[in-house]
Amino acid sequence: MVDKLIDMMNEDMKKQIDEEISRLTFTKNFRSPTAKEWFVFLPSYKDIVTGGAAGKAIIHYNLYDTKHFFINTTIIFDDPALHKAGLHNLVYAVSDEIVNRLVGYADTLLSVHSGENSYNAEYKQ
């Protein structure tokens, strides 16, 4: 059987994704009893105004209605370089890694804000 999957990502992008994810760090900022805010640090990107975190992840836990429990996660990238369409694979990979590290395997509604690379996703167990 012939494999019909074609990998469209070039080697440079793969290396960049690996580098960003391997050096991805966070600091936690208390937001409220039902939400946490994490500042996201990437080695090659930063907030151009403050020189700090490249973005933030806000994780809101729905504690009032647990019948259909979802965690709402919003990731906002502040570095305009991450808003360019050519970096969609990087934004997607880093966002996926953020969800995996901070939320784990919980059912999650994700909203990523990154200019042309913005998207919504749903993670279900």
| pLDDT the model gives residue 70 | 72
Closest CA to 40 of 56, 21, 58, 16: 56
26-32 mean pLDDT: 86
Sheet harboring 71-77: ordered strands across?
25-32, 35-41, 55-61, 71-77, 108-113, 119-123
Instruction: For residue 97, give both structure tokens.
Output: 């890694």
d(CA 49, CA 11): 31
More confident: 20 or 33: 20
81-90 mean pLDDT: 94
Q: What's the chain's average pLDDT?
A: 88
Question: What residue has token string 């600091």?
Answer: 27
Closest CA to 35 of 68, 74, 90, 89: 74
> What angle is formed at CA 83 by the lines to CA 97 and CA 16, rounded to 5 degrees?
50
User: What is the pTM assigned to this prediction?
Assistant: 0.87
- DSSP one-letter code for 25: E
More confident: 33 or 93: 93
| pLDDT the model gives residue 120 | 96
Instruction: For residue 43, give both structure tokens.
Output: 């080695």
| pLDDT the model gives residue 107 | 85
Whether the pLDDT of residue 83 is over 60: the answer is yes
Whether the pLDDT of residue 75 is over 90: the answer is yes
